[in-house]
Structure 1
Amino acid sequence: MEVRQHTLDIHPWKISTTTLDKNHRRLHESITSLGNGYMGMRGNFEEHYSGDHHLGTYLAGIWYPDKTRVGWWKNGYPDYYGKVINAVNFASFDLFVNGVRIDLACCDYEDFYLELNMYDGILYREFTINLGNTKVKFSFERFISITKKELAYISMEAKVLKGEAKLNVISKLDNNVQNEDSNYEEMFWKERNKEIIGDSSFLTTQTVENPFDVEQFVVTSSMKHNLTPIKVWKEPLAINNEFEFFLSTGQMIRLEKEVVIVTSRDVVEEKQIEQAQNLMQSFDNDYSTLKAEHSAAWHKRWELADVTITGDDAAQQGIRFNLFQLFSTYYGEDERLNIGPKGFTGEKYGGATYWDTEAYAISFYLALADPKVTRNLLRYRYNQLPQAYYNADKQGIKGALYPMVTFNGIESHNEWEITFEEIHRNGAIAYAIYNYTNYTGDTSYLKNEGLEVLIAISRFWADRIHYSQRNKAYMIHGVTGPNEYENNVNNNWYTNKIATWTLQYTLDSYQKYKSEYPHTLTTEELNTWQDIIDSMYFPTDEKLGIIVQHDTFLDKKLQTKDALNEEELPLSQHWSWDRILRSCFIKQADVLQGLYFFGDQYTLEEKARNFNFYEPMTVHESSLSACVHAILAAELQKIDKALEMYKRTARLDLDNYNNDTQDGLHITSMTGSWLSIVHGFAQMKTFGESLSFAPLLPKSWQSYTFHVNYRHRLLFVKVTTTSVELHLLTGKPLTLTVYQKPYTLTEHLTITV
């Protein structure tokens, strides 16, 4: 098993270090990001830092359509590239001690400490500045409230350990920010207003004009402090409050900064300052009270969400870190939002919605949140159905094509081979409807909005699929499967599979609920769908006994990843794209993705043959890869491989497996660590509206526990070296299967292993 070097300390509830690692500052900024679903920011220092780093603050639903037209433009290409934009830096402090600007990139300092406390949801930092005859210790605390979405709080303490100190602190709202991926240092913000009212400062900015009729967003940020500034002044796109202190040895000061952010997504520009004032007044509690309220809310979340692992602190830290960042990004309160693959931690991928939500996150939120959270995710896609029709029409295809990347439902990704070839994501939208209905037993969405979405997607598939007269079968050419290290292939098995599955699920659902559905489908259309289902072509190889990833996959030079040198990895950072596309190496689960989704349709022998063939060629350079392999490896009793894959998904960012965490965390794939334990080690399955478990335990673990919501019940599961315990905490008795044996769970069940 691969051993990774940890750049941060291992602790079950904390991410911490006593070293300012200047070579990994960006990495640590990503890992110590905070958010509350409404806004968030990377773990940037409050004070000025001149070393290499990535300053980033992001607001949910605030984005910009960046022009992406190039000389080799093709019809059907997206008009713009949607991107999350860096927003106001509200945590900024400029610190001066005896006239010296504090900058840890060049100042003499000692006793550095950084800690993200995941249990409480607080970021802590401290260091001591040494200026010869003067030493000053600085301590910071920061949280972004999960009880008051518009609120963030920063606290700073300064204590003189030696000598005399004149301390000047300039607290800022600073919107002079840029994206790291911006073109030619372009700015995405312009100033609208600055106000100083009483002890509060207000800065209103607006996104710059765009030529695509996409709305411009207006944001008002505000701040007030527990102390009175000696000076307040305005600068372009910024407002400053200066504080001055004269301190002797042993003396200290505490400066608290309360920040409130409101946006035009909720409040019109003319009302924003008034609303910010009202919110500040309604939040008018002291720092310790607001902090305690915030932490108590995190503790409540952990009561349901926590997964405990005994015997492996690194594994324990990994799952809790993933859970923390997931819930910091999305907790389902706003159906207008989705789960960005970078959340509030960076700008890569545009920060928008991907198919990751439907393929990975739905199962996670079904089990660990109220069903309305998942329903909001489904409604997000339903509300964007008109845009999905637009996307398909732009390609000259009937029906609806959901986007690969979007903020508003319109496709806004600028890579053709992904945007218009990776059409399997349309099937993930359908699978999410099935997953929700099958898991909860609630058919109300399927019978109404869900069926409308399914029919629209099925019409896309029926028009995109073609009939091969030569082979007397239906085929899908020119696609990219889940393995993005192959483009423009014919008959990717997974794409063909999920297309026909969608058609079948739509047919079955329509026949079941057509009396309640307001529209009638023609017999001709229904017969066409059935013909496609009956005559779809699926590439297989009888000699190898495997499903073939696509038509020409076996014509490649087949070799395992063991043939690669360590310095070649990750391939995406060392090989040319041409070389990658011609190789057999697989970025992420492709055939195996289908065997996971439709696991009840395949035998263990079929799964084993395909796993043994494809996994050795898989380099796992997608964050979505390891969890699928962990789940299937566990089912196949390959426990060491399952543990290896679990650690890769749980600690992907903490240990920077793919050398890209400095760009931001892999938020949606963080669901994979939970899936690896619950769907993998515990083998929880819900096929056919029935619940089953077949738990196993890695050798290095002593036990693991987790909760799941299932059909108005709350279950607690504990797996040890000798037993499996199931507790029904709330809800009616439940019939389930454990190790293929039926049980009725009334209160408590213990099975000796």
Structure 2
Amino acid sequence: MDGWSWEYAGYTPADERLRESLCTLGNGYFATRGALPECAADDVHYPGTYVAGIYNRLTSDVSGRQVENEDMVNVPNWLPLRFRIPEGPWIDPDTADVLEHRQMLLLAEGLLERRTRYDLGDNRVLTVRQLRMVHMADPHVAALRTEFTVDGFSGRLEVEAALDGGVTNSGVARYRDLDGRHLTHIHTGVSAPDTVWLRCRTRTSDVRIGLAARLTADVPVVVRHELPHVIQQLTIGLEPGRTVTVDKTVALHTSRDPAISDPLHAAVDRVGRSPDFDALAAWHRAAWDQLWRRAELDVPGESGRILRLHLFHVLQTLSPHTADLDVGVPARGLHGEAYRGHVFWDELFVLPYLNLHFPEVSRALLRYRHRRLEQARTTAAAAGHRGAMYPWQSGSDGREETQQLHLNPRSGRWLADHSHLQHHVGSAIAYNVWQYCEASGDMEFRHTKGAEMLLQIARFWGDKAVHDDAMGRYRIKGVVGPDEYHEAYPDADGPGLDDNAYTNVTATWVLARTLELLDTLPEPRRRELAERTGLTAGELELWEDVSHTLHVPFHDDVISQFEGYGELSELDWHGYRGRYGDIRRLDRILEAEGDTVNRYKASKQADVLMLGYLFAPAELGGLFRRLGHRLEEDMWRRTVDYYMHRTSHGSTLSGLVHGWVLARCRRSEAWKFVQEALQGDIADVQGGTTGEGIHLGAMAGTLDLVQRGLTGLETRGGALWLDPVPMPELSTYGFALRYQHNWGVRLRLERGLLEIEVPSSDASPIDVRLPDREVSLQPGEKGRLVLPD
């Protein structure tokens, strides 16, 4: 393996789901898991294909209750291509002897290559080599080239290629008791001697889907219709030393696509106009080459190779094609069905990276949120609040999609789910609006859609906060923080916690930033906004008051995760690790024992420490001063140490955040957590979860750790602020970024030296600010800055 490939050798059924996720190919419009085309969905294989933003809602009977869920739909499978000696069994790794099997993800080219040698007995060997692409230049096209070679015999091989409309959503075992049959009205047909089609629609959302497949070979093709499949069958002659090639080209459209009249007609037309495999591959490689240049990343060694894989999967989920779509950031990418393809807060970890490379994609993802602003206001009103209350889990239309029940696999019990109380997702959206505008210089968005979202999110926090006369402060009650383990107080009648520190501090930030934005809006726009939203001077005074007096709890001279946290019991961490080994999902362990994690000082992931991830030390200190507190460096260090010893890291985001925070305050321990973040998916540290879809936030977050975390890079006040923290394990690295109107700005750090190169253009100079100096770099200029020890 080199720095641009990812290879698996040997066939191991237990590893197939993980490999399928990590070998997924996509282009931002749709993605297909890296399953073997000759294998159908079963307990080993799962060949899912997902189109961004395609959801369907079904109702299931769960423990006598009617439960409604909306899922990202597994659309018809375009992959199937199986083969056999005539009259013999179909050949696949589970039924035939495998002499050799290799699967290689070629990152630079965006291709998946597989090579398998099957032992057919009597010294007969069949070698199958395949190349697969999901086209990065034409987002509606995919192609599969299959090459057959035999040794030790001559004979015929029967090949069947199909489009399969009988797929269901069954890729996550704990969801299989729920209805996963999302497709209906399946029809098939033929449009040309070498081309077949399949059309269907989703059962309730009524999205029409059209696929067309063209099979290219040097022999006649016979078509069979066996609903829900359409099959193209051919027989090829094989001789030793002669390779026979079969190419399958597919086009996929849905009724959500712009500039088409009918998805089936569009798919048939597109596949008919598509060039041959070699021409498609050349076009595809050129598109990937452009992406890699815009997202240039130079990190040495194994860490750099993993980061490149992470970047590959981010770009396959959120590419420039995404800029034309109404989609959010699916927490598990387009790689599997975990979390039902829902949109959580993961954009908080994804957009900071995209802002500095593909701002047009960030803008599109924020527009997804803006289009659902009215729904967020409706949800807030239904809960008795003003403003916008964004859902913890979002899907097609922005209503709350968080499940009412979730299954604990350890106990087999269905439990009430209260994670919809994570209202801090609204603050994450506001944070992303602000960061995008600072990085891109998009004043139009800031003054229009951005201002509208910030205002309504601030309005929600201003209304959600209640004044405690005895305390003399405002409080936010009945929420759940990022930790997620704690949903209620021990023995409480209902869910929710009071004064989650992360929630309250980020709410303060939203209120302060919104007031700042309103002060700087052009007067005509400010007047329009006030008239449209009914904004009054009294409301602004309330926001000012709340933003200075929100309660942040403390105990034992550290920041409390929430009011009352210090009164919880300590957990026997040593004992539980001794009994269970892996205790990342401590909540499930305790519930299976008849206990609850609500009783203990134990967190799933970073909660208070998320503040150190979002805000540089100076900004975080300023927020606490605004609230009337002094956050000295010693207190922050104690807070970091306190929660490090009380966190089970049950989320892939936890290692990322801890590595980021420790790089600033306990550098010697940071690398351990950075490594955990890098290994999260490739080593499947969560124990089987990656096979259900990659963790997109953690992958993008590791890229941003290099881009912003280690460099201290901030985009604010019209300048690039840098405060690098050299890490012995990663002291030399470089990357390119797009800052406002400057494309391809290159930064490189090496042994105490920071090099910044601004490409020639007609853009304005870049102001760079370090802790000890300020410099201005003109387009076409390179700066070499010696960093202080």
Taking structure 1 as the reference length, the TM-score comes to 0.92
Q: Find the counterpart in structure 1 of residue 550 from structure 2.
A: 536
- The 8 Å contact of residues 561 and 585 in structure 1, kept in 2 or not, is answered as no
Deviation by residue 1:715-750 (Cα, 9 ceiling, x = unmatched): 211122352222112444322123532223341122
1:157 aligned residue (142, 147, 157): 147
Long gaps (5+) in structure 2: 405-415, 488-495, 622-631
Report the secondary structure of 1:61's partner residue. Answer: strand
Note the 1:231-380 alignment, pairs <5 A.
231-266=222-257, 271-283=262-274, 285-310=275-300, 312-313=301-302, 315-331=303-319, 332-357=322-347, 359-369=348-358, 371-380=359-368
Using the TM superposition, give the Cα deviation of residue 66 of structure 1 relative to its aligned residue in structure 2, in angstroms: 2.4
Q: Structure 2: how far apart are the matches of 1:445 and 1:48?
A: 47
Distance change >3 Å, CA 96–CA 268, structure 1 → 2:
farther
Q: Find the counterpart in structure 1 of residue 624 from structure 2.
A: none
1:744 aligned residue (776, 779, 784): 776
Q: Find the counterpart in structure 2 of residue 590 from structure 1.
A: 607
Note the 1:57-206 alignment, pairs <5 A.
57-67=49-59, 80-98=68-86, 99-133=88-122, 134-180=124-170, 181-183=175-177, 186-198=180-192, 199-206=194-201
Q: Structure 2: how far apart are the matches of 1:601 and 1:24?
A: 43
Distance change >3 Å, CA 697–CA 21, structure 1 → 2:
farther
Which stretch has the larger CA shift, 462-471 or 673-682? Answer: 462-471
- Letter aligned with residue 694 of structure 1: D
Aligned residues: 727
Q: Find the counterpart in structure 2 of residue 4 from structure 1.
A: none
Using the TM superposition, give the Cα deviation of residue 186 of structure 1 relative to its aligned residue in structure 2, in angstroms: 4.5
Q: Structure 2: how far apart are the matches of 1:72 and 1:495?
A: 35
- Letter aligned with residue 226 of structure 2: E
Q: Structure 1 residue 512 and structure 2 residue 541: aligned? A: no
Distance change >3 Å, CA 269–CA 432, structure 1 → 2:
closer
- The 8 Å contact of residues 587 and 597 in structure 2, kept in 1 or not, is answered as no
- The 8 Å contact of residues 168 and 242 in structure 1, kept in 2 or not, is answered as yes
Q: Find the counterpart in structure 2 of residue 7 from structure 1.
A: none
- The 8 Å contact of residues 390 and 426 in structure 2, kept in 1 or not, is answered as yes
- Letter aligned with residue 14 of structure 1: S
Which stretch has the larger CA shift, 318-327 or 126-135? Answer: 126-135
Q: Structure 1: how far apart are the matches of 2:385 and 2:506?
A: 18
- The 8 Å contact of residues 191 and 237 in structure 1, kept in 2 or not, is answered as no
Q: Find the counterpart in structure 2 of residue 716 from structure 1.
A: 746
Deviation by residue 1:63-108 (Cα, 9 ceiling, x = unmatched): 11122686898xxxx9832211211110101211242310201311
Using the TM superposition, give the Cα deviation of residue 11 of structure 1 relative to its aligned residue in structure 2, in angstroms: 3.9
- The 8 Å contact of residues 331 and 341 in structure 2, kept in 1 or not, is answered as yes
Report the secondary structure of 1:225's partner residue. Answer: strand
Using the TM superposition, give the Cα deviation of residue 501 of structure 1 relative to its aligned residue in structure 2, in angstroms: 2.0
1:524 aligned residue (529, 534, 538): 538
- Letter aligned with residue 583 of structure 1: Y
Using the TM superposition, give the Cα deviation of residue 446 of structure 1 relative to its aligned residue in structure 2, in angstroms: 2.2
- The 8 Å contact of residues 33 and 345 in structure 1, kept in 2 or not, is answered as yes
Q: Structure 1 residue 555 and structure 2 residue 567: aligned? A: yes
Q: Structure 1: how far apart are the matches of 2:707 and 2:180?
A: 45
Q: Find the counterpart in structure 2 of residue 400 from structure 1.
A: 388
Q: Structure 1: how far apart are the matches of 2:85 and 2:693?
A: 33
Report the secondary structure of 1:333's partner residue. Answer: helix
Q: Structure 2: how far apart are the matches of 1:317 and 1:467?
A: 52
Report the secondary structure of 2:365's partner residue. Answer: helix
Q: Structure 1: how far apart are the matches of 2:440 and 2:337?
A: 35
Q: Structure 1: how far apart are the matches of 2:644 and 2:464?
A: 30
Report the secondary structure of 2:380's partner residue. Answer: helix
Report the secondary structure of 1:575's partner residue. Answer: helix
Q: Structure 2: how far apart are the matches of 1:732 and 1:12?
A: 35
- The 8 Å contact of residues 51 and 334 in structure 2, kept in 1 or not, is answered as yes
Q: Structure 1 residue 571 and structure 2 residue 585: aligned? A: yes
Using the TM superposition, give the Cα deviation of residue 525 of structure 1 relative to its aligned residue in structure 2, in angstroms: 1.9
Q: Structure 1: how far apart are the matches of 2:700 and 2:380?
A: 30
Q: Structure 1: how far apart are the matches of 2:64 and 2:559?
A: 37
Distance change >3 Å, CA 112–CA 192, structure 1 → 2:
closer
Report the secondary structure of 1:354's partner residue. Answer: coil
Deviation by residue 1:364-411 (Cα, 9 ceiling, x = unmatched): 111111x32222222211111111112212323222111111222111
Q: Find the counterpart in structure 1 of residue 409 from structure 2.
A: none
Q: Structure 1: how far apart are the matches of 2:110 and 2:83?
A: 25
- The 8 Å contact of residues 82 and 413 in structure 1, kept in 2 or not, is answered as no
Q: Structure 1 residue 643 and structure 2 residue 671: aligned? A: yes
Q: Structure 1: how far apart are the matches of 2:475 and 2:43?
A: 54
**Whose relative contact order is higher, 1 or 2, with alpha carbons under 8 Å and at least 6 apart?**
1
Give identity over the alignment, percent.
25
Q: Find the counterpart in structure 2 of residue 5 from structure 1.
A: none
Q: Structure 1 residue 421 and structure 2 residue 421: aligned? A: yes
- The 8 Å contact of residues 126 and 151 in structure 2, kept in 1 or not, is answered as yes
Using the TM superposition, give the Cα deviation of residue 604 of structure 1 relative to its aligned residue in structure 2, in angstroms: 4.1
Q: Structure 2: how far apart are the matches of 1:93 and 1:204?
A: 19
1:493 aligned residue (485, 488, 501): 501
- Letter aligned with residue 181 of structure 2: M
Using the TM superposition, give the Cα deviation of residue 121 of structure 1 relative to its aligned residue in structure 2, in angstroms: 0.4
Q: Find the counterpart in structure 1 of residue 492 from structure 2.
A: none
Q: Structure 1 residue 443 and structure 2 residue 443: aligned? A: yes
Deviation by residue 1:303-344 (Cα, 9 ceiling, x = unmatched): 12132222x32x112111110000100123224112211122
**Root mean square deviation, CA, Å:** 2.4
- The 8 Å contact of residues 193 and 203 in structure 1, kept in 2 or not, is answered as yes
Deviation by residue 1:172-206 (Cα, 9 ceiling, x = unmatched): 00011111234466521113432201121010011
Using the TM superposition, give the Cα deviation of residue 248 of structure 1 relative to its aligned residue in structure 2, in angstroms: 2.4
Q: Find the counterpart in structure 2 of residue 6 from structure 1.
A: none
Deviation by residue 1:423-470 (Cα, 9 ceiling, x = unmatched): 111111111122122233333222222222222222222222222233
Q: Find the counterpart in structure 1 of residue 401 from structure 2.
A: 412
Q: Structure 2: how far apart are the matches of 1:696 and 1:533?
A: 31
Q: Structure 2: how far apart are the matches of 1:200 and 1:397?
A: 56
Q: Structure 2: how far apart are the matches of 1:230 and 1:525?
A: 71
- The 8 Å contact of residues 166 and 247 in structure 1, kept in 2 or not, is answered as yes
Distance change >3 Å, CA 68–CA 232, structure 1 → 2:
closer
Q: Find the counterpart in structure 1 of residue 473 from structure 2.
A: 473
Q: Find the counterpart in structure 2 of residue 48 from structure 1.
A: 39
Using the TM superposition, give the Cα deviation of residue 649 of structure 1 relative to its aligned residue in structure 2, in angstroms: 1.8
